[in-house]
Amino acid sequence: MEALTLTTPALLFSAISLIMLAYTNRFLAYAATIRSLHAKYVKNKDNVLMAQIQNIKKRLYLTRSMQILGISSLLLCVLTMFLIYIEQQTVAIWVFGLALILLILSLAFLIWEIQISVKALEHHISDIEGK
């Protein structure tokens, strides 16, 4: 294996930053939806609204996990760069490997969250098609 250089973990900075921006946008959209659902639920305690609230709650927690994993990956990339700087190559390789695993997990959670979102939208579509 070739030596890990400072540029290798630095390459992930822009990718992780863009991913975190997308995650933050999802989080903000969920916050707005939750506020809207809450206002509707206060007026009309409907079981359909409760199901939507439960669905968005699950998606919100998945997004939080995605963000935590992504931030942890970025943090470990910075730590990798520091370890390379102080010439701790072996430890840097292991830390960078862990950073990659956390990024993979973050993206896997994104796939899971997208599947839940699609199922929620399919319920709305089936309501429209049924009428």
CB 25 within 8 A of CB 67: no
The arithmetic mean of pLDDT across residues 1-10, rounded, is: 78
Using one digit for the tens of pLDDT, what is the confidence trace for 24-43?
888 888 888 888 888 888 88
More confident residue, 101 or 121: 101
Query: Cβ atoms within 10 A of the Cβ of 67, count?
Result: 18
Determine the Cα–Cα distance for residues 18 and 114; give it in Å rounded to an integer: 17
Residues listed for the chain: 131
- pLDDT tens, 62-115? 999 999 999 999 999 999 999 999 999 999 999 999 999 999 999 999 999 999
- Quick check: helix, strand or coil at residue 4? coil
pLDDT computed for residue 104 by the predictor: 96
**pLDDT of the residue at 98:** 97
Amino acid 52: pLDDT: 81
